[in-house]
Amino acid sequence: MSVAAEHVHQHGQEPSFTDPSCYHATLATLLKEHTPEADPAFVLGGTAGTDAELADGWVTVHDSLPTLCETLRGFGYDVVSQPLDGNLDALLEDMRDGRPVVAIADTFHLAYYWIDHGRAHAPHAVVLRAYNPADDTVRLTDPVDIVYFDDRVDVGTLIPALSDTHVELSWLTVRPTRSAGVPVASWPGRFQSYAGSLTGAGGDRLSGVELTQWLAGAIDDVLSTLDRMRRPKRAPGADPERDRVAGLLLGMWSYHHTLRWLERHLALVPSLAAAGQLDDATRLEFDVAADSIERASQDWLVARGLLTRSVVLSAVDRGRYRDEILHRLAEVTSAHLAASDALRRLAGRSGW
């Protein structure tokens, strides 16, 4: 399992996080600025939602940032998000007051972002802090693992990345309130909510089991479309089926991050949220829930990896991959059910 790595950089003693998820890494960096001693997973891992919606027989996985912002608010943080329209005055004003911000920028214009710079327009979260009006520079930290960057840059060089209309750009601040924290009485409800997000049915958003079972049922359509992806890339919108499969793969990547951080969250809860010493049976339930989510996260990532690799396979090999993908998806369902059962049992226990 991929885990966030903590770094102390030359610009100061405050740590930042390196993680495959730019949302989790940047928000964790902001949380570390407020409470350096705390593990951000206790807050950011407090959601099990897929952000997936079924419409006209196909799944769309929505951007997970709004869900993470709601999770922060649920733990007592004030989150303010604003659109970026090229006018950076309000953003810079916040940083003049010493507040770090997360900005959603366009990777096409980020010179250090070697993957997409000058090649692809995509939204990407970075941390901006320590604005110096004297020389009009700002410290830019990009904690995502594949491009980790932390240095001062001229604000003028960021304007294209923060104003291009190809992607939806925004910025947000995160501040703890006096009520930051989770009341003991709310934990049973939280466990029930996590369980529902993992295995429930009929909600506005698909549960983890519903998403997994939909993918298993649609596997032949997905593989057929992936086979066509070996052909030259077409303009966005010219091949809707191809676009929606690409969106599905991106959504699977996002849900993998949700599961990774949920596992870390569940591993932390016993020591950080328990009202008293937990008995062995209760600790065992936490172990079952966390271990099951870790297994689900790993198998979900394997299934996604097999899907992406199927693009270059022969028809015979694609059949073998199909069987393994279905096997891994069945394992994800089994792990979700085991975690959900443990969480529901925890919800019914006293001592929270």
Tracing tokens 């057929």 back to the chain, one arrives at 224
Q: Higher pLDDT residue, 157 or 225?
A: 157
pLDDT at residue 5 greater than cutoff 60: no
pLDDT band for position 12 (cuts 50, 70, 90)? very low
60 sits in the region (left: phi over 0; alpha: psi -120 to 50; else beta) called: beta
> What pLDDT is attached to residue 39?
92
The torsion angles phi and psi of 79, rounded to 5 degrees, stand at -115, 125
> What pLDDT is attached to residue 236?
60
Mean pLDDT of the chain: 88
Count Cβ atoms below 10 Å from residue 29 Cβ, excluding itself: 29
Most confident of 75-84, 92-101, 182-191: 75-84
Lowest mean pLDDT among 103-112, 185-194, 320-329: 185-194
- CA atoms within a 13 Å half-sphere pointing along the CA-CB vector of 177: 13
> What pLDDT is attached to residue 176?
86
Give bridge partners of residue 103 from the DSSP assignment. 126, 171
pLDDT at residue 87 greater than cutoff 90: no
CA 18 to chain centre: 13
Torsion angle in degrees (nearest 10) through CA of 68, 32, 343, 249? 40
Percent of the chain residues topping a pLDDT of 70: 89
39's tokens: 């593990």
For the segment 102-120, the average pLDDT, to the nearest whole number, is: 95
Residue 102 CA to residue 127 CA, distance in Å, equals 5
pLDDT at residue 230 greater than cutoff 80: no
pLDDT band for position 186 (cuts 50, 70, 90)? confident
> What pLDDT is attached to residue 238?
66
Per-residue HEC secondary structure of the chain comes to CCCCEEEECCCCCCEEEEECCHHHHHHHHHHHHHCCCCCCHHHHCCCCCCCEEEECCEEEECCCHHHHHHHHHHCCEEEEEEECCCCCHHHHHHHHCCCCEEEEEEHHHCCCCCCCCCCCCCEEEEEEEEEECCCCEEEEEECEHHHCEEEEEEHHHHCCCCCCCCCCCEEEEEEECCCCCCCHHHHHHHHHHHHHHHHCCCCCCCCHHHHHHHHHHCHHHHHHHHHHCCCCCCCCCCCHHHHHHHHHHHHHHHHHHHHHHHHHHHHHHHHHHCCCCCCHHHHHHHHHHHHHHHHHHHHHHHHHHHHHHHHHCCHHHHHHHHHHHHHHHHHHHHHHHHHHHHHHHHHCCCCC
Task: Classify each residue of 273-307 as buried b or exposed e, where b means 16 or more C-beta atoms within 10 Å of its C-beta.
Answer: bbeeebeeebeebbebbbbbbbbbbbbbbbbbebb
Give per-residue pLDDT as tens, 147-164: 999 999 999 999 999 998
Tracing tokens 């299934």 back to the chain, one arrives at 303
- Please name the residues in contact with 93: beta carbons below 8 A apart, sequence gap of 6 or more: none
For the segment 249-263, the average pLDDT, to the nearest whole number, is: 97
Give bridge partners of residue 8 from the DSSP assignment. 15
For the segment 42-68, the average pLDDT, to the nearest whole number, is: 95
Task: Give the pTM.
Answer: 0.91
pLDDT at residue 234 greater than cutoff 70: no
Residue 238 CA to residue 242 CA, distance in Å, equals 9
Most confident of 199-203, 227-231, 237-241: 199-203
> What pLDDT is attached to residue 351?
62
Closest CA to 181 of 277, 74, 37: 74
pLDDT at residue 91 greater than cutoff 70: yes
For the segment 68-78, the average pLDDT, to the nearest whole number, is: 94
pLDDT at residue 49 greater than cutoff 90: yes
> What pLDDT is attached to residue 277?
72
Percent of the chain residues topping a pLDDT of 90: 66
**Residue 274 to residues 267, 284, 351: CA-CA distances in angstroms?**
12, 14, 7
